[in-house]
Structure 1
Amino acid sequence: MLLQPWSIALLSLTLVCPTSAKIDRKSIVRQFNPKLNSSHPYSPIQVGNGNFAFGTDITGLQTFIPHNTLSSWGWHNSSLPTTVNQTSPADFTGLEWWTHDRLVPYAQPNPAQKEISPWMIANPHRINLARIGLWWGGRNVSEEMLQQRSQTLDLWEGSISSFFLLNGNRVEITTVVSPDSDTVAVEIKSQMVWKGELGVFFDFPYASGKNKFDAPYVGVWNVTGNHSTVLRERENGAEIRHTLDATSYITDITWESEGAKMERLNNKTHRYVLKPAQAGNWLSFTATFAPELAKNVDNFDAIKAKTAKWWTEYWETGAFISLPPANSSAKELQRRIVLSQYLLAVNGAGKDPAQESGLVNNGWYGKFHMEMVFWHLAHWTLWNKWTLYDRSIGVYDRFLSTSFERAQKQGYQGARFGKMSDPTGRSAPGEINSLLIWQQPHPMYFAEMEWRKYPTEKTLKKWDHILTGAADFMVSYAWFNESTKVYDLGPPMYPVSENTNPNQTINPTFELAYWRFGLNVAEQWQLRQNKSVPSNWRFVKENLAPFPVENEVYVTYEGVKDMWTTPTLAEDHPGLLGIYGWLPPDSRMNLTTFKKTIEKVYQSWNFTYSYGWDFPLLAMTAARLGDAERAVHWLLDPNNQFDEIGMPIGGTRVPTPYFPASAGLLLAVGMMAGGWDGLEGPVFPKTWGIEVEGFSKAM
């Protein structure tokens, strides 16, 4: 049997045989329960369900630090401009750029539209629903006054336990979030309750909407006249309607303390206080956030039990990996894996793809990026967490109509997926936003992974119209170069790295490989349904430009000048390495050239400015090349930091947390644990004794 060059490389991998013994998942997970004795200034311990998250300080609430309460549905639009011809999103025109001898309209900020252009970028923006904290009976209390502070997040059951003493009085607080509603449930045990010295406040901010990175805290607290709140009391409960311009929602608060009352602190604020009656040493309440009044909200005990059941099932199903605790590198990697699994279930498993900061704070106004959907969702497929993947993968079907409209306006066929998006499918204007293309083949990747797991007629029908629309655009976008007799990608465009001149960027290495991959999947999809393959799909795929090579190594794009010595070109995302690691081997890739390329990247790249998914990308590439030691090195690189709570620290250019680092870590580990086509996993350093369960293969 003849071996392909990439098959020979696989034989050099260090293999560790999986054991059939069942992993004690519970003890491993709980080993990494975060424990604090003071509030974290920007990385809150959270409870949440993927669509809703509540960040806490050391009290288990938001008493001293205004961490955020964010949801999938909580969005706000600022008032529209009143300038003539700039009073509606329909008035936005963008700009026209020369693109292969014709003017193409792009959603670029228009200098002549100084009002509506920035409005389109910043709106809608995600809002902080409320701040909930301890009320000290009218006294001023600081965190430093609390003694014996301790807080533990039980990862296995999804609950936060907080404890402290104040003037000798014990206070114990348990905080959970319901798995099936936007409800935070809290139980407070303390003699201070019946003494009338301890209650709970609820405070409502106005929307920010002016800062691209609204972090670490979201909302404006000193413009109380810009919004309104109305309290309606009932027996053992209250409803507070918060109205911010056209946005309105209800906080439904229910308590189990006879005689407790909710009242507004004063007419100049939007702060309300739940004051318990002097009749017991405990207070439990639930706060449910929804656009309209919730129905049949469970009490604290029921929600706590339901939450524990959901999280236990989360940990017990799907894949798992056990790394040797005696090895310090393995233990740190295990910590990152476990905490990332928790944080992504809280922040990256909603009805929409996650924004880069999840539900911790607002990056990019809280909007999500279509090119990053791969990094947010692909790991669920390898870890066999399909129910969480299913929550948001429907975004491609939902956004298909706006994607067809976008392509048609530009004179292309098919559906062009946008970039920085809100839940309606509108992509915010921006130079990079309108010129990026690597999001286009993502549906092909997801469809193929689903087919491998669920090779059914239902899967074929689910993706058929999406892949057809995506492929039609890809073929229409590729431009036939009469001089070279090949199809070019760009210009103008931005590649993965987003650090090149768009008017000079043509035939970027990664995008060429991803274009061929995507068109190949679309072709196979047609054949599986006994449909004919459009001739132009196949022709464009087979006649795309070759990979650009200079001095025996691949480069970011064709004709790039001084790539390895220009600081801005040899930093940020090393996307060209994605052709062997992220993607299965491309038929046109030369393995010798690629190996020289990766060594050139190792020697010349400024990894100080790398962040997020860069290091998982490097790890996947190293693993596929057979270097398991280096793959682990990249996952633990000093520039790739995760804090004590497990939050991935952003780089110099993005806010913390930056969750593509977490999802990318799980994707790389999933690939190393489950293997890929042509190689059985796991693939880890030979001195590591590991156990794996339940992983799917990568392509």
Structure 2
Amino acid sequence: MINRYQLVNRNNPILKNKDLNSPFTLGNGEFAFTADFTGLQTFYKSYAEEIPINTMAQWGWHSFNSEENYDRKNLKFKNYNRGNKKIPYASEEKGQAGLFNFLRENPHKYNLARVGLHLEKKNGVKVEFEDIELNQQELNLWQGILKSDFVVEGEQVNVETICDPLTDSIAVKIVSDLIIKKRLGVEIEFPYPEQSKTASNWENKEKHQTKLIEQNEKAYNFNRFIDETKYFVNLFSSKNLELKIPSQQHYLFKSKKNENSLTFVINFNENQNRVKQISFSEVKERSIEYWQDYWTQGGIIDFSKTEAPKAKELERRIVLSQYLTAVQCSGTLPPAETGLTCNSWYGKFHLEMHFWHAAHFALWNRESLLEKSLWWYYNILERAKELASSQGFKGARWPKMVGPEGYDSPSSIGPFLVWQQPHPIIYAELLYRNRQKKSVLEYYYELIEESIEFMVSYLEFDQENDRFNLEAPLIPAQESYDPEACLNPTFELEYWHTAFVIAQKWRKRLGMEKNKKWEEITDKLAELPHKNNLYLGHEKAEDTFEKYNIDHPSMLGAYGLLPGSKVDKDIMKNTFDKVLSDWQFDRAWGWDFPMTAMTAAKLGEKEKAVDILLMDSPKNTYLFNGHNRQGSKKDLPLYLPGNGALLLAAGMMAAGWDDSGLESTAFPEEWQVEYESINKYL
């Protein structure tokens, strides 16, 4: 039996020096608080250019008021030809840039507040970033507790920061003689939303309002009003507090008690201006219980018996990715690519990325964390059907870049993507594989049927070649191609084939007859395009490896990510070798490395699979805090699809896949790898 406590704790990140690229995030899937080296958000501006230290929630959405009264109904669509059909897409910015970009930028997530320490020197001057000496900051993964120890002019400060698993709250304990000396306080500051990755405008203070209601000297309520958005913040302290307001939207609290410790809880919510008071000790107890349950009940992989230096780093990445995806990707809505740390694409979800964010939960026996967000597909089902109908298709077309209301954002790329379309089918299948319950079949069948019905109507029958095609306009997962010149992308063909096979299985499980149309499509779907024994990006992309060897090598996913029913393994092996030799991996993305490793594993290339997982490449960088950095991209300082993809690959390499026939794992033969509670992949 694996000693899980030892495994998790040996991977606790312990920071000895200030690192602007490694703030730590505490959260519960619905809410997250990212802290600097002081354990709070004391030096917000210092981190803003790298990884912002925000407070964000799944419910924290805002839209700017428009002086032009922009209305979605006025958006003009561009018609694209497909045979004798004209299909409208929201892809044309020209002549409507204002409305086009307004719909892209709204709604957006916003930063709820900055909660930081107010520290003063002996001479009364405010302490700056460089004035503090960091002793140590440790994120205790087993308990979900961040401990920060630092020194200000010889005075020790100890801070414990915890996120409540049950409410959108942080609990904080501060111990320092600076409290007695009135040189340490707690400040809360509220920003206005902004389209940047920080989601914070600290200047336009007149554009939003805060109504402060003092219940008593230990409890304060903040009612927040930002245009049409309203939310509430509650502060509960263990000591009587003295309040000062240094400037508009900025509140400073200091303890009135002549004691060197202070505990407080700050709660954020969208519905109640007063909530039941909770204490630091309550939150701490709940956090310890939650995280111990998390680590003891799901999957785990132990590399400690492997001497290869790479094993230790791989274990670190896996453990931290398990933590980060639980904190950021397990909520009731699909996550943004930067989760609840900061904004990417205005905080909207990219539904094609939902797979990478959350599919791994099912392999690691935490399928409930995947299922938490699947209700949302039913919530937007009618909107997805409207989108399909507006383009002349049946069923439900799942959008690409969306906020919680489910409207697809206009874009020259996003509306043409189709590889998110089978995702709900795969999610449902993964859930059923874990649970084997008829209730799962009955609940999710409608999602499967509506997804498939769109796919049926989207495909075009090619009479000359007696096949069904994926035809233009479309953009594949490798977003490098002209949407009007794309035909039969390799990955999408295999993915759609897999989806039709699974859908028929569901009909059989439910006692239904085979759908003859689905069966015809399964039999006659176009073959995967190849040339010179190499799979292509799509059928017309004969120069895939000369001109288009950038972005995602998605043709590999047809085998690594999927069962590969239509794949010729010899051609895939040649393609894999060609990708390794010719692909510009510095222009790939974080999930490409795990996907490529999955292909290597299925081809029996165990050594190469590990080498690819740990490839030295800018987009495969894993920071001290576990985040997958995307090279020098300042607008995308972390990339959670990379973390989720790593877990999917590692889980598959440990437990295998349906027809793997593995006697051990897909890790190198000399590696001694132990795992528990991980399921086989498709």
Normalising by the smaller structure, the TM-score range is over 0.9
Corresponding letter in the other structure for 2:77: G
Comparing both chains, which one has the higher relative contact order based on Cα–Cα distances under 8 Å and sequence gaps of 6 or more? 1
Cross-structure match for 1:290? 269
Cross-structure match for 2:87? 104
Cross-structure match for 1:125? 108
Cross-structure match for 1:607? 585
Cross-structure match for 1:638? 616
Does the Cα contact within 8 Å between 2:400 and 2:408 map onto a contact in 1? yes
* 1:594-616 deviations in Å (ceiling 9; x for gaps): 11111121222111111211000
Which residue among 267, 278, 293 is the counterpart of 1:313? 293
Corresponding letter in the other structure for 1:661: G
Distance in 2 between residues matched to 1:631 and 1:422, nearest whole Å: 36
Cross-structure match for 2:58? 72
Spell out the pairing of 1:280-679 with structure 2 (5 A cutoff): 280-291=259-270, 292-324=272-304, 326-566=307-547, 569-586=548-565, 588-639=566-617, 640-651=620-631, 655-678=636-659, 679=661
TM-score under structure 2 length normalisation = 0.95
Cross-structure match for 2:234? 252
Does the Cα contact within 8 Å between 1:81 and 1:115 map onto a contact in 2? no
- The answer to which of 672-681 and 348-357 deviates more is 672-681
Distance in 2 between residues matched to 1:40 and 1:219, nearest whole Å: 21
Distance in 1 between residues matched to 2:131 and 2:666, nearest whole Å: 50
Structure 2: gaps of 5 or more residues: 46-52
* 1:602-647 deviations in Å (ceiling 9; x for gaps): 2221111112110000110011111111111111000111011111
Which residue among 128, 147, 153 is the counterpart of 1:161? 147
Distance in 2 between residues matched to 1:633 and 1:148, nearest whole Å: 35
Does the Cα contact within 8 Å between 1:472 and 1:537 map onto a contact in 2? no
Distance in 2 between residues matched to 1:535 and 1:659, nearest whole Å: 40
SS of the residue corresponding to residue 580 of structure 1 reads helix
Q: Is 2:2 the partner of 1:23?
A: yes
Cross-structure match for 2:187? 201
Cross-structure match for 2:680? 697
SS of the residue corresponding to residue 544 of structure 2 reads coil
Distance in 2 between residues matched to 1:442 and 1:651, nearest whole Å: 28
Q: Residue 56 of structure 1: CA displacement? A: 0.8
Distance in 2 between residues matched to 1:497 and 1:577, nearest whole Å: 11
Cross-structure match for 1:18? none
Structure 1: gaps of 5 or more residues: 1-21
Distance in 2 between residues matched to 1:165 and 1:63, nearest whole Å: 14
Distance in 2 between residues matched to 1:600 and 1:129, nearest whole Å: 48
SS of the residue corresponding to residue 676 of structure 1 reads coil
Distance in 1 between residues matched to 2:323 and 2:295, nearest whole Å: 9
* 1:658-689 deviations in Å (ceiling 9; x for gaps): 01111000000000111111224522111111
Aligned residues: percent identity?
Answer: 36
Q: Residue 294 of structure 1: CA displacement? A: 4.6
Cross-structure match for 2:31? 52
Distance in 2 between residues matched to 1:385 and 1:506, nearest whole Å: 37
Does the Cα contact within 8 Å between 1:80 and 1:88 map onto a contact in 2? no
Q: Residue 148 of structure 1: CA displacement? A: 4.8
Does the Cα contact within 8 Å between 2:494 and 2:564 map onto a contact in 1? no
Q: Is 2:254 the partner of 1:275?
A: yes
Distance in 2 between residues matched to 1:529 and 1:313, nearest whole Å: 34
Distance in 1 between residues matched to 2:232 and 2:207, nearest whole Å: 17
Does the Cα contact within 8 Å between 1:233 and 1:262 map onto a contact in 2? no
Distance in 2 between residues matched to 1:551 and 1:667, nearest whole Å: 31
SS of the residue corresponding to residue 372 of structure 2 reads helix
SS of the residue corresponding to residue 474 of structure 1 reads helix
SS of the residue corresponding to residue 265 of structure 1 reads strand
Q: Residue 651 of structure 1: CA displacement? A: 4.0
Cross-structure match for 2:167? 181
Distance in 2 between residues matched to 1:513 and 1:522, nearest whole Å: 14
Does the Cα contact within 8 Å between 2:37 and 2:134 map onto a contact in 1? no
SS of the residue corresponding to residue 135 of structure 1 reads strand
Q: Residue 572 of structure 1: CA displacement? A: 1.0
* 1:453-488 deviations in Å (ceiling 9; x for gaps): 222220111111111101110010001123322111
Distance in 2 between residues matched to 1:38 and 1:46, nearest whole Å: 17
Q: Residue 95 of structure 1: CA displacement? A: 2.0
Name the count of aligned residue pairs: 664
Does the Cα contact within 8 Å between 1:56 and 1:62 map onto a contact in 2? yes
SS of the residue corresponding to residue 265 of structure 2 reads strand
* 1:219-248 deviations in Å (ceiling 9; x for gaps): 010111111111111111101122111111
Corresponding letter in the other structure for 2:117: L
Corresponding letter in the other structure for 1:489: L
Corresponding letter in the other structure for 1:207: P
**Counterparts in 2 of 1:148 and 1:661: CA distance versus 1, 3 Å:** closer
Cross-structure match for 1:4? none
